[in-house]
Amino acid sequence: MTGIQFVTDEKGRKVGVLIDLKKHGAIKERVVAVFVLLGVFLTIGALAACHSTRNNVSLKTTTFVVGKLDAELQHLFISRGNGHVASVRASGNKVWVVHDGVEGKRFDWVTSILFSPDGAHLAYFAQRDRRWFVVLDGVEGKPYDSVAAETLIFSPDGNSLAYNAAYETLSGTTKQFRVLNQKEVKEYNSANGEELSCIGIHACIRFSPNGRRLAYALRRHGHIMLVVDGIEGREYDSIGLEKALFSPDSQHTAYLAQRGFEYFVVVDGAEMKGYERFPGYISFSADGKHLAYLAWSQRGWFFPVIDGVEFPEHHITGLHVLFSPDGRRSAYSIDSNGGRGQSMVVDGEQGPEYANVGSVEFSPDSKHVVYPAYDRNRKKWFTVLDGVEGKRYDRVEWTGPSSESFFSPNSVHTAVWIKDDGKEFVAVDGVEQKKYDEVGIGRVFSPDSKRTAYWAKRRTKYFAVVDGSESEPYDRVEWASIVFSPDSRHVAYIAANKGRDFIVVDGVEASGFDAVGSYAVGTSVFRENQDIPVDYADVYDPLDVYDPLVFARKDLLYAIGREGNNILRIEVQILER
């Protein structure tokens, strides 16, 4: 038709129209209506084009059989990031380890299977002919009469391995060694009343966060001391750990100690003020410059001690002091009004009293602070952001086991899970999003803080809600699996339909499997009425939550899955079209 010209984009798609009104005067009176409607359609078209760009990917799936769900399988271990898998298998009187599908040697027994934090190395203890040794990446170490199974540990950077081992002498004494990188660096003898010891779960040997310092416990003639960098500390009746040992910057140490009826925190070898009961919950600021812990008052409650300054009038309820990321601010909750209410203390200033307050959080840039509070009169929860109360709801939450956060990475945006009047929804920057029967939030914001994602349920179907738009309906969306790529261009998750699990990237489904992620290998895998245990966490964080779907790089995903009796490591490569 003459007088009408369509406007196309660089790919030839029609995104607009030009009309010569001189040639089409008959429709002049309809032009306003046309352009109003055209504006609507062009807006929708522009959004669809943006969305199709995100969908403009193809997926290449590669699988590796890393284990068999059969009678020989005894235990399964998965490295952080899902990049590597090890299994313990047994047949007859022999036991062996299979690492990424490659079988190791047969032994009489194996124990303490451990991946390095980066997943690049695998170590464990093995026994042959009553002698014990470490096996590191398939290579056997020096044999000993015994090893301390709970002491095997990698440094955080994965470059060092340490453990305790021992010989029995002909005289009946025991020689113990601290072994570092397959070298005996220190000997202790029971003839001298010496014994290498532990100070709690996973606290036999500790590396500093930078991997350059080492600490361990030593008993001598009934007393215990901490040895740091080879230097023995003071002797105590007992020592313990409550979170802290090395500071995040690796420059300082802090632990609990007891001598007689006096208890104190020991910081860099110096004893702080003593108390009649054990202090606890030691925490360093992220920069390592500030230290907080809790002490018992004579009235029988915990109060905070921050950088040596006591706040005995504060009955702390949150059981810890939170420092801001820059280390300059602090916050904690206390009982107020004789225990009839609670308040948040931020930077030393006590805030308003509420019936109850929840966990406090600082923004990544340390400029903002938020916590949930409960209105007893209205029986509603709300957020308190920088001292300003938000709208009341039946429930508000944002913290949990999957590292959820109220703030976006750039500290500009906020997201909170809400339940009200029987419906659940998310509020982003205070704006309520669509309401559902159920909503689950994990890491809501993308790394660049510009995008959001979470799952939702309506009646019997689940959706991934990405940037406010629903995915195709599924029988299940695994809430902990929703993850953005490092460059924020892609979003992926695990979904299920008709008994098959799929990895979905930007709305595109990869190959289906019997199970993927937590439904393939949760805390156990099921085999003929028997649960086979599965371990993910390393000694640095025994409660670390398993990430069922991980970006190894911006265009590559790792997951663990199952097809029949085959346990699979799944790689999904994202190819831009």
Domain range annotation of the chain: 4-55, 204-240+244-319
- How far is residue 130's CA from residue 144's CA, in Å, rounded to a whole number? 9
Cα maximum dimension of the chain: 114
- Name residue 440's beta-bridge partners: 455
Whole-prediction pTM: 0.84
Residue 563 tokens read as 């097809």
In this predicted model, what pLDDT tens digit does every residue of 329-383 receive, in sequence order? 999 999 998 888 999 999 999 999 999 999 999 999 999 999 999 999 999 999 9
d(CA 503, CA 353): 47
Evaluate whether 320 touches 311 at the Cβ level (below 8 Å).
no
Q: Are 250 and 208 in contact (CB under 8 A)?
A: yes
Measure the CA–CA gap between 545 and 302, rounded to whole angstroms.
29
More confident residue, 3 or 306: 306
The H or E element containing residue 48 is helix 28-55
pLDDT digits (tens, 9 = 90+) for 555-573: 999 999 999 989 999 999 9
pLDDT reading at 502 higher than 60? yes
What is the residue whose two structure tokens read 């300059």?
328
| Bridge partner list, 502 | 495, 512
pLDDT tens track for 220-249: 999 999 999 999 999 999 998 766 789 999
* Average pLDDT score over residue span 178-194: 94
Which of 424, 383, 389, 387 is closest to 407 using CA atoms? 383
> In percent, how much of the chain has pLDDT > 70?
84
Poorest-confidence range of 46-60, 120-134, 138-152?
Answer: 46-60
pLDDT tens for each residue of 282-328: 999 999 999 999 998 877 788 999 999 999 888 899 778 999 999 99
Closest CA to 402 of 345, 349, 443: 443
How many CB atoms are closer than 10 A to CB 500? 15
Number of C-beta neighbours around residue 442 at 10 A: 22
415 and 452 Cβ atoms separated by less than 8 Å: yes
Kindly report the backbone phi and psi dihedral angles of residue 555, in degrees, each rounded to the nearest multiple of 5, phi listed first: -125, 20
pLDDT score recorded for residue 531 = 58
423-428 and 214-220 as β-strands: parallel, antiparallel, unpaired?
unpaired
Given the structure tokens 């595109």, which residue do they identify? 508
Residue type, 196: L
What pLDDT shows up at residue 67? 87
Residue with the larger pLDDT of the pair 38 and 205: 205
Tokens of 469: 């738009």
How much is the average pLDDT of 121-143?
97
Contact (Cβ atoms closer than 8 angstroms) between residue 400 and residue 358? no
Alpha carbon distance 532, 85 (integer Å)? 14
- What is the pLDDT, as a whole number, of residue 25? 43
Half-sphere exposure (Cβ direction) of 448: Cα atoms closer than 13 Å: 9
Q: pLDDT, tens digit, for every residue of 42-84?
A: 332 332 233 333 468 999 999 999 888 888 988 888 888 888 9
User: d(Cα 135, Cα 485) in Å, to the nearest integer?
Assistant: 35
What are the residues whose beta carbons fall under 8 Å from the beta carbon of 238, sequence distance 6 or more? 224, 257, 258
Q: Do the Cβ atoms of 81 and 552 come closer than 8 Å?
A: yes
- pLDDT-derived band of residue 174, with 50, 70 and 90 as boundaries? very high
Contact 346, 332 (CB under 8 A): no
DSSP character at residue 149: G
Q: Which residues contact 356 (CB under 8 A, 6 or more apart)?
A: 342, 373, 374
Rounded distance, CA 253 to CA 272, Å? 13
Is the separation of the CB atoms in 265 and 256 below 8 Å?
yes
Q: What is the pLDDT of residues 80-98, one digit of tens each?
A: 888 899 999 999 999 999 9
Q: Please name the residues in contact with 152: beta carbons below 8 A apart, sequence gap of 6 or more.
A: 112, 114, 123, 124, 125, 134, 161, 162, 163
Q: What is the pLDDT of residue 362?
A: 95
Can you read off the two tokens belonging to residue 430?
A: 């205070």
**Which helix (H) or strand (E) covers residue 47, if one does?**
helix 28-55
Distance CA 348, CA 330 (A): 8
Task: Give me the mean pLDDT over the 171-178 stretch.
Answer: 93
Task: Name residue 294's amino acid.
Answer: L
Helix (H) / strand (E) element for 264: namely: strand 262-267
Q: Which residue is associated with the tokens 């010209």? A: 5
Mean local confidence (pLDDT), 204-232: 93
CA angle 30, 34, 40 (to 5 degrees): 155
The per-residue pLDDT of the chain, averaged, comes to: 85
